[in-house]
Structure 1
């Protein structure tokens, strides 16, 4: 017989932005059938939030960042991630208990900033679903109801809080550095002298060092901090930090979190995602990084899911791949 009538469990409703639209992570459950959000039993001495994070990683391979429950819009202080609800759920006999018992389920809500990145081997088949798909899935009714409610509020809950005032001086410096970055790159290929290329390297090194210091002091300069245009300049400096790949990887993590919070352009996150993947010898997701093919024409570096790349590009607002390649070829020709 089972010693405990009540078992502590945790479930996590994990969301990610696909372009500018949210999707929810669900798994195909091998024993119960249908779809569920990630979750499971707490280990000995493990708190509910740690259980939620671990279960997401084990079941999906994704790293989730938990969110606090919603506070009033004008509330001036940041909140700490916590359990959103605790629900008592009847449970049938299973491998942990040979009789009917109760799951005291701790419900957490979180975000996955990089839904194409895996940090472990998934135990289950994973799907990312939009709000409109909930009624077509084989979900428990409680999951369907709560997921629908969370879709309505996730944009607000994930947003930057509290929002800082725009730093106009920092914005101006970012735009100045962006202008310098572009000045060396826009020189026609035929006119690129050794002195220019040396200057190119120096600009990138200087900008990378400056961005590193800025991030260490103030965090990622998103739209709330510096405005939309200057936030784009910050992305550009990170995109060109190729000679410091570990730092560039760190920028990707920070930029991805800013995208999740609605604090950065999703296209910038996609471009840096592809850039970092190619630099690390991985397949890209969106086909944004090009190289010269055997016949001298531009072709994408290898893409992870060629059959899905056009749909993904459309979701992120990119033009079709063929047209993109033609445009890039014309700009460097």
Structure 2
């Protein structure tokens, strides 16, 4: 009797929580315990395995991962192409597609999501993000634990740019110049904020935003290896102050999140811009960085999603505790 074999696809995908990598797992009702998202390839529809891997991830977890090529040796001159990192045959018990034991030829992909607090859909299964230590004690099959442990060791290399951009001192200097202008108008004493000064503030922000839009359109989001940490901070600041262009600011949020994945930007800048975008959309913020003034002028955080865990999230991205942050902001506002 010929062995029944079905084609399946699964995705081990990761996100950065500050400096910490976590892997997305789903609690499977039929198999029990936690697994990487995955399922059958729709061969009757000629579905490619990579499409099935992403589709199953979206359906089961709510996240749409970006698939990664396997890391190549240092110095290899050609870019990799995203595809299965491994193809394995696994025994499977009877299911909805076969009433006897059979084989799953599983195409195993690896991916990332840049915004772990921003799922694209409603998950079909309970979702859990686990770090390397949690994986070792998680209720999960041995093969999942072995592959997951290996991937935690190589995920950094897998998301690094294939060839980092050469340092651009001219661009770094221009970013720092524009940051100086940005801060010059914002640090004016209240008594000096004349109508002429406020008009200059508005014009500087507009000029900076137009320049930033052109930069991003021409070359994407320059990373730390290209412009250095001070200029990378200036780049974030210009995006943070692009409020009059919410669609562009959201684009910057996404580009910055990708740079953080690759280790090319500071996670706490991503947290600040994420909150800025969410509050502008009328949604609860994640990190509690955006403050609103009441009628008496007292500053308090705009609504926070899952406020009970906000301190943990702030710690992960390098932000100070909420009370320290509030105290400093209120002191600055009073001065």
Normalising by structure 1, report the TM-score: 0.97
- Match of residue 195 from structure 1: 196
- Match of residue 59 from structure 2: 58
**Contact 1:171/1:227 (8 A) holds in 2:** yes
- Match of residue 222 from structure 2: 221
How far apart in 1 are the matches of 2:184 and 2:78?
42
How far apart in 2 are the matches of 1:232 and 1:249?
17
* TM superposition shift of 1:307: 0.6
How far apart in 1 are the matches of 2:240 and 2:184?
16
* TM superposition shift of 1:296: 2.9
How far apart in 1 are the matches of 2:256 and 2:88?
35
How far apart in 1 are the matches of 2:53 and 2:226?
31
How far apart in 2 are the matches of 1:145 and 1:70?
18
Evaluate the alpha carbon distance shift between residue 76 and residue 227 of structure 1 in structure 2; reply closer, same or farther with a 3 A threshold.
farther
- Match of residue 38 from structure 1: 37
- Within 5 A, what are the aligned runs for 1:248-263? 248-263=249-264
- Match of residue 15 from structure 2: 16
Instruction: Write out per-residue CA displacement over residues 148-181 of structure 1, whole angstroms, 9 at most, x where no aligned residue.
Output: 0110111111112211211111111111111111
- Match of residue 5 from structure 2: 6
- Match of residue 274 from structure 2: 273
**Contact 1:11/1:39 (8 A) holds in 2:** yes
- Match of residue 82 from structure 1: 83
- Match of residue 160 from structure 1: 161
- 1:107 aligns to what SS in structure 2? strand
* TM superposition shift of 1:5: 1.5
- 1:14 aligns to what SS in structure 2? strand
Normalising by structure 2, report the TM-score: 0.96
Q: Does 1:317 align with 2:318?
A: yes
Q: Does 1:141 align with 2:142?
A: yes
**Contact 1:88/1:104 (8 A) holds in 2:** yes
How far apart in 2 are the matches of 1:169 and 1:260?
25
- Match of residue 283 from structure 1: 284
CA RMSD of aligned residues (A): 1.5
- Match of residue 237 from structure 2: 236
How far apart in 2 are the matches of 1:289 and 1:4?
59
**Contact 1:9/1:105 (8 A) holds in 2:** yes
* TM superposition shift of 1:127: 0.7
How far apart in 2 are the matches of 1:4 and 1:193?
82
- 2:308 aligns to what SS in structure 1? coil
Unpaired runs of 5+ residues, structure 1, are none
* TM superposition shift of 1:4: 8.4
**Contact 2:3/2:103 (8 A) holds in 1:** no
Instruction: Write out per-residue CA displacement over residues 127-165 of structure 1, whole angstroms, 9 at most, x where no aligned residue.
Output: 111100112111110000010011011111111221121
- 1:108 aligns to what SS in structure 2? strand
How far apart in 2 are the matches of 1:204 and 1:59?
42
* TM superposition shift of 1:78: 2.4
How far apart in 1 are the matches of 2:190 and 2:285?
26
**Contact 1:77/1:162 (8 A) holds in 2:** no
Instruction: Write out per-residue CA displacement over residues 95-129 of structure 1, whole angstroms, 9 at most, x where no aligned residue.
Output: 12222111110000011100000211111111111
Q: Does 1:293 align with 2:310?
A: no
* TM superposition shift of 1:75: 2.1
How far apart in 1 are the matches of 2:226 and 2:80?
19
Unpaired runs of 5+ residues, structure 2, are none
- 1:308 aligns to what SS in structure 2? helix
Once the two structures are overlaid, the 10-residue window that deviates more, 97-106 or 248-257, is: 97-106
* TM superposition shift of 1:74: 2.1
* TM superposition shift of 1:189: 2.5
